[in-house]
Structure 1
């Protein structure tokens, strides 16, 4: 056995199984396709579940892959040990009803002993305790020494997951030598020590489990194997853990160079080096597969990993954003197997940079606040409210807060945190509810025996077709009655079905007697088009031949907007950079809504330039063509693909001259001149790193111009202007007057605050040598409270003042403590927090000044009355 690099091992494995008649498939995306049970792909077989169940026919009965995987249950353990990691690659060979145990075992042994040249005397095999068939195959056919085969129980060597296909396993182990053993007389395969390393698992899927303990032999048996690429590399390179494998070690060396530290020199810095190394591998691949940072789901996993990596960079002494630099090394080390990383390099690095910079802007303030909370806490538990504030305001994930305070021996009140988080999510859901929008999505339909629909709508908006099925409430019927709402299935159709961000067509189905209004068109995953209809005139039935007429005006408006979306993306990449990728779109008859990856709002100049470039292409009357071609040919043309999307071998490519080339199955005009003009009407943020532009074309531009003209006229009339051209000057004059009035009001508030404070000094009380001032005011701003507090602190250093302002049914409390009062133990942040709790609120801040909100206005007086007691308990005797 000789030292072999990780990239070479991957290629050796895939080539070996290609030689055994397997189809090499590229790694599936880390984002599961059509599998809601998984957040991220976590095993080699996960993306091929439907091949095993028979729901989808595999491209070949023998397949081999090297699959990217992410596992996140032990994120907190990553770095603490050298064993744990979140990203790894899984080698696998699979048989879908083809070969079984004889071939799987023989090929596994051949690869290990002939290709890798692992010493036979150091390989051990485990089998399921009752699998005599496997024992005989290993010993009599493969030739493994029976003394090197170990029988293990169901927990170790039987694969099953609930109900469905399952079966015994056979695992291969490598003996690293006595020096890695635990010294126990019973040390052997299955021991928890580091001597025997399990590196290949062969699953013989031969039974169907009904969940009641009954195992029925499968008619078509399957093979599912998995071998961790990094674990195999550890064996072949003679290293102890994945962080010492060549490609991974090169990433760590880059981090070490930036930090100026050496791996192995200090256990504390080793932890941080491992964290950053693992997390930058995971995040680079996740972003490469289209995952975007967010506060939920896989986006939250990405954000959590990036922020944990950034924090450990700081622990290494790195005081600047650096993760994007290391990302370059990740891409370079993996480009031979994953060239898409090179294609997406600019975008991946830009997103990582922006996310790290955003975190940097808040982490210092958040760490300062968290440090103060830890320092001032007399308990070993951080309140859920404080943890939620750190999360909501400063971007600190709960896990990061937990990790930091755990270093101080503290925990978080997670139940309170989750309650507050749940309340926030409920508010967000209620705010975006759109009743009825998903009505069609939940509709179940009976489409047994119906073939995929032939789409003719690229070439025509009118066609004849035969009705294959009519469905009412998901059930098939022979005909429909007046005013029924039904779904009609045709053998062919010119109606475009909603997909790729383009809405479905509308129009009519008629045979001269009956008439159905098509309100929408969607597509079932089987390729059947569903025409959602309202019966205008009854008379159509299953078998009827009908004329299909698409609403042409609406369709042409949609086509204009769809072509505009392509021109818009090309213009954005030209103005902003190649990191721009489509993140979603909606094109209908009114406008184009285009979401794209970018990390700041567009300037007026950028927006104007993008609009100008699109209109230049329109005025140039560029020919638009649509062509089906092999995907490799499309890539050579430079066709833009939808980020993270998987495509078949044959793709449809839409080209607008040399300006725009994209994969697209939608409908388009045949010349850019048909768009008329393009106008951007809004630009906004959708999510972190995702912007949205809405624009209009053709008639939409005319309508937008008319609406703008009316708005200008209405504004001019309201200001009694005869000439709308005077509107900007009039608005500036109004704003100037408003600013002057605001300044006068602020001066008046300051004079009033001083007068009120002077009066409150007369009623102040002394508590343990500290002067206590309290007061409640209506129609007073938070700024006024701050001004009053500043005056007290400047003129009475031995005082504490707590004021309440009540406005529009809301209350704000402020607290201030002078220097002498602080020296006696008074802390404004703690005082205002305790007082606010009396009125159902919360808050806090610095020792000299702090503010808080109060919910129960009826208890404001009670909260102010409690200040004497709060200060008394705080003052040092």
Structure 2
């Protein structure tokens, strides 16, 4: 057993199983492909579920991978212990109906004892308590000492998730030595202490569970193994946890240099170092696989990891963006297996830096609000508990983690109403759960229809009409045999010309007719098994399962969609030409009215860049480039330079759309056959969607004519409102009106100053004196806030020992101003404290600086009461 680096271990494992006739596959993206049940890939077998379930054919019956994984249930514990982490790599070898227990156990033992040379006397094997077959194989075929085999129950050694394939498993453990144990006499494999480390799980999927506890033996059982790469590296490197593994430790060292601290010198600082190290690894890999920061779903997980890492940077004394500087080390330590990290390094650094800068602004606002709340709590006599509503607002609106809020208020001796906070969190989770459920309709339909192995044949690339047979009907989610006029039904046919919503392109619309029946097709969705679901509104007659129907796509809508989709391809190519190769599609919507294209870019486009992109796209339209569509093997497609969708998974054969060699992309959508048919292209807007993601909305064809007509009508209407006969005069008229408004505003300011001067004398004459301060209070109606401030500034500057509280009432709105002259402030007067207490009498809130502060007035009937209280309030403040 020799010290072995993590990168070397990965290669040893994959190479070993290649010698056993396994096909090495690259890691699947962390973004699940075609699987709505997962937020992020969390295990080695997760991307292969369809192969295990027989829904798709794997590329080989024997596969080996090193899969990137993210697990998020224990985010709050990451850092607090050395065990928890969110990102890890899972080594695995898989058999889809090929080899089984004999080979899986033999090869596992061969790899760890002969390839890695782990000492046999420190290896242990656990088996499912009833799996005598596995025990016999381990002892008599593999040669494991019977005393090193333990039986464990179903909870530990039987893998199943609901109904479907399942089976017993064997786990391999490494004994780290008695000194790592808990010291209890019964310490053994399965104990929670750190002595026996489980590092490889061999799952024998040999049963089919019907969901009611009945297990049927599978005719073709499967093998699914998983070994944590970081955990194996801990064993081979003789370290206690993943944060001390070579590649991970090098990342931590970079963070330590930036922070000026060392690991293992201060446990509090160690927690922060572990948090940052883990979270920056997760962040880099998630971003590289196409996950972008967002306020929900996987994007929110990414944002939460980034913000938690940035906050722990603050705890280490780093008060400026720094995570982006660590990206280079994460890339360096992992690029041997994931070269795409190096290609995207600049993009990764820019996105992370932007998020850090945004977080600094956000957390600053959160601190400000929390400090205001705590100040209010300190002044109160009874309230010593932060409300759950305030804690939730800090968390939900300002990204302020509850643990940070808890820590800060505890320092002041306060508590949090965590019961109320949890209730609000549960409401939010339930809302998110319902939103997720509403997106699962297609997956649900697959189960309801019961058409196993059946697919709809799509003929819509070449035809707008087709004849098909109704395979199934759904009304209100229930499978039915007939559907009649007035009902909305989901219709499944064996052949269709209708394009189902996919890849950002909306579904076709059209008609479905049969004998005496007519229905309008409003939407089309495609299930994971390849069935096309036509959402129809039946206008007349009746539809019946088994009958033949005619399907016709509305040509005008299809043609508009085609123009917009081809224009989207030209747009992406133009963006990459103008902005750089970091531009990738991050989402799109193509319908008959507009095209919306989201792309990776880290700053707003300049007007010149927008104009240049627009000109390039139109130039390609005017060139009349032929648009060719071909199906080809994926390797051949890549050789042409065709662009793939960022993070998307493709089969062996792909569809490639080539617009005259200028734009070549993988695409399953519909397109014009020549760019000239797009007509014209106009960018309507460019905006931000999220950090590092921009959005362009554009029009083509007839939609540009409609846009011109709308704009012209608006200009004529604006001209008419200004009594102009010609819209061309608008610019000159607007300029003269702005100058006139500026002059009038200057006159208003002069009048306000005169008004303040006129009222200053009478206010000063009625002043009373308290402890050396002259106190003035008054209420004025129909006065603007600006005039109120002007009056206060005059009082403050011309009478330095004055404390003035002025209320301006303007209709239903009233504001209270307090000003304190320089001498009054020196005597202890504080405008912010005075106005806060006076406004509170009216139910209002406010505060501010010692010399000037504003507050709102809630109940105008209590203004007199508030003004009468000013002398008493001042006396209290001065004392």
- Return the TM-score normalized by structure 2: 0.86
SS of 1:579's equivalent in the other structure is: coil
SS of 2:686's equivalent in the other structure is: strand
User: 1:118-146, CA deviations, whole angstroms, 9 ceiling, x for partnerless residues?
Assistant: 11122223345555554443333322223
* Greater Cα offset, 311-320 or 807-816: 807-816
Name the residue aligned to 1:498: 501
Residue 652 of structure 2 is aligned to residue 649 of structure 1: yes
* Greater Cα offset, 493-502 or 735-744: 735-744
Q: Is this contact kept in 1: 2:6–2:247, CA < 8 A?
A: yes
Residue 82 of structure 2 is aligned to residue 82 of structure 1: yes
Name the residue aligned to 1:91: 91
Name the residue aligned to 1:666: 669
Displacement of 1:86 after TM fit?
1.8
Task: Figure out how many residues of one structure are paired with residues of the other and give that number.
Answer: 871
User: 1:208-230, CA deviations, whole angstroms, 9 ceiling, x for partnerless residues?
Assistant: 77888x56455465544322111
Structure 2 Cα separation of the partners of residues 266 and 391 of structure 1: 28
SS of 2:558's equivalent in the other structure is: helix
For residues 528-547 of structure 1, what are the structure 2 equivalents within 5 Å?
A: 528-535=531-538, 538=541, 546-547=549-550
Name the residue aligned to 2:149: 149
User: 1:467-511, CA deviations, whole angstroms, 9 ceiling, x for partnerless residues?
Assistant: 545554455666655555444443323222222222222233456
Structure 2 Cα separation of the partners of residues 811 and 415 of structure 1: 38
Residues 544 and 165 (structure 1), Cα distance of their counterparts in 2 relative to 1, 3 Å cut: closer
Displacement of 1:295 after TM fit?
2.7
Displacement of 1:610 after TM fit?
1.5
Structure 1 Cα separation of the partners of residues 655 and 811 of structure 2: 59
1:597 to 592, 596, 600: 600
Name the residue aligned to 1:458: 461
Displacement of 1:88 after TM fit?
1.1
Q: Is this contact kept in 1: 2:833–2:877, CA < 8 A?
A: no
* Greater Cα offset, 686-695 or 805-814: 805-814
SS of 1:589's equivalent in the other structure is: coil
Residue 591 of structure 2 is aligned to residue 588 of structure 1: yes
Structure 2 Cα separation of the partners of residues 779 and 814 of structure 1: 15
Name the residue aligned to 1:720: 723
Displacement of 1:668 after TM fit?
0.6
Structure 2 Cα separation of the partners of residues 580 and 386 of structure 1: 40
Name the residue aligned to 1:323: 323
Residue 6 of structure 2 is aligned to residue 6 of structure 1: yes
SS of 1:731's equivalent in the other structure is: helix
Structure 1 Cα separation of the partners of residues 101 and 432 of structure 2: 53
Q: Is this contact kept in 2: 1:347–1:578, CA < 8 A?
A: no
Q: Is this contact kept in 1: 2:442–2:527, CA < 8 A?
A: no
Structure 2 Cα separation of the partners of residues 715 and 122 of structure 1: 85
Structure 2 Cα separation of the partners of residues 106 and 426 of structure 1: 47
SS of 1:596's equivalent in the other structure is: strand
SS of 1:117's equivalent in the other structure is: coil
Structure 1 Cα separation of the partners of residues 809 and 430 of structure 2: 28
SS of 1:625's equivalent in the other structure is: strand
Structure 1 Cα separation of the partners of residues 286 and 134 of structure 2: 38
Name the residue aligned to 2:637: 634
Name the residue aligned to 2:41: 41
Name the residue aligned to 2:310: 310
Q: Is this contact kept in 1: 2:834–2:874, CA < 8 A?
A: yes
Name the residue aligned to 2:555: 552
1:621 to 621, 624, 631: 624
Residues 366 and 520 (structure 1), Cα distance of their counterparts in 2 relative to 1, 3 Å cut: closer
Structure 2 Cα separation of the partners of residues 876 and 208 of structure 1: 81
User: 1:770-794, CA deviations, whole angstroms, 9 ceiling, x for partnerless residues?
Assistant: 7776666665555556556655665
* Greater Cα offset, 624-633 or 687-696: 687-696
Residues 118 and 428 (structure 1), Cα distance of their counterparts in 2 relative to 1, 3 Å cut: closer
Residues 210 and 424 (structure 1), Cα distance of their counterparts in 2 relative to 1, 3 Å cut: closer
Structure 1 Cα separation of the partners of residues 723 and 701 of structure 2: 34
Residues 842 and 137 (structure 1), Cα distance of their counterparts in 2 relative to 1, 3 Å cut: farther
Structure 2 Cα separation of the partners of residues 861 and 579 of structure 1: 64
SS of 1:559's equivalent in the other structure is: helix
* Greater Cα offset, 250-259 or 816-825: 816-825
Structure 1 Cα separation of the partners of residues 865 and 158 of structure 2: 66
Structure 2 Cα separation of the partners of residues 412 and 869 of structure 1: 34
Structure 2 Cα separation of the partners of residues 269 and 169 of structure 1: 40
Q: Is this contact kept in 1: 2:288–2:348, CA < 8 A?
A: yes
Q: Is this contact kept in 1: 2:34–2:528, CA < 8 A?
A: no
Residues 767 and 87 (structure 1), Cα distance of their counterparts in 2 relative to 1, 3 Å cut: farther
Displacement of 1:164 after TM fit?
6.3
Residue 692 of structure 2 is aligned to residue 689 of structure 1: yes
1:522 to 516, 522, 525: 525
Name the residue aligned to 1:245: 245
Name the residue aligned to 1:744: 747
Q: Is this contact kept in 2: 1:768–1:875, CA < 8 A?
A: no
Displacement of 1:198 after TM fit?
2.4
Residues 211 and 830 (structure 1), Cα distance of their counterparts in 2 relative to 1, 3 Å cut: farther
Structure 2 Cα separation of the partners of residues 418 and 807 of structure 1: 42
What do you get for the CA RMSD once the two structures are aligned?
4.3
1:708 to 698, 702, 711: 711
Structure 2 Cα separation of the partners of residues 713 and 729 of structure 1: 15
1:562 to 544, 562, 565: 565
* Greater Cα offset, 232-241 or 664-673: 232-241
Structure 1 Cα separation of the partners of residues 647 and 104 of structure 2: 33
Q: Is this contact kept in 2: 1:347–1:580, CA < 8 A?
A: no
Displacement of 1:375 after TM fit?
7.7
Residues 76 and 744 (structure 1), Cα distance of their counterparts in 2 relative to 1, 3 Å cut: farther
Structure 1 Cα separation of the partners of residues 869 and 393 of structure 2: 25
* Greater Cα offset, 661-670 or 637-646: 637-646
Structure 2 Cα separation of the partners of residues 573 and 736 of structure 1: 43
SS of 1:595's equivalent in the other structure is: strand
Residues 868 and 440 (structure 1), Cα distance of their counterparts in 2 relative to 1, 3 Å cut: farther
Name the residue aligned to 2:347: 347
Residues 338 and 185 (structure 1), Cα distance of their counterparts in 2 relative to 1, 3 Å cut: same
Name the residue aligned to 1:301: 301
SS of 2:449's equivalent in the other structure is: coil
User: 1:555-591, CA deviations, whole angstroms, 9 ceiling, x for partnerless residues?
Assistant: 1111111111111122222223333322222222222
Structure 2 stretches of 5 or more lacking a match? none
- Return the TM-score normalized by structure 1: 0.86
SS of 1:520's equivalent in the other structure is: strand
SS of 1:611's equivalent in the other structure is: helix
User: 1:43-62, CA deviations, whole angstroms, 9 ceiling, x for partnerless residues?
Assistant: 33444445555566655554
Residue 577 of structure 2 is aligned to residue 574 of structure 1: yes
User: 1:165-204, CA deviations, whole angstroms, 9 ceiling, x for partnerless residues?
Assistant: 6555433222233443455555443444433322223344
Structure 1 Cα separation of the partners of residues 428 and 106 of structure 2: 57
Structure 2 Cα separation of the partners of residues 440 and 21 of structure 1: 38
Structure 2 Cα separation of the partners of residues 632 and 105 of structure 1: 35
Residues 47 and 238 (structure 1), Cα distance of their counterparts in 2 relative to 1, 3 Å cut: same
Residues 162 and 648 (structure 1), Cα distance of their counterparts in 2 relative to 1, 3 Å cut: closer
Structure 1 Cα separation of the partners of residues 860 and 445 of structure 2: 49
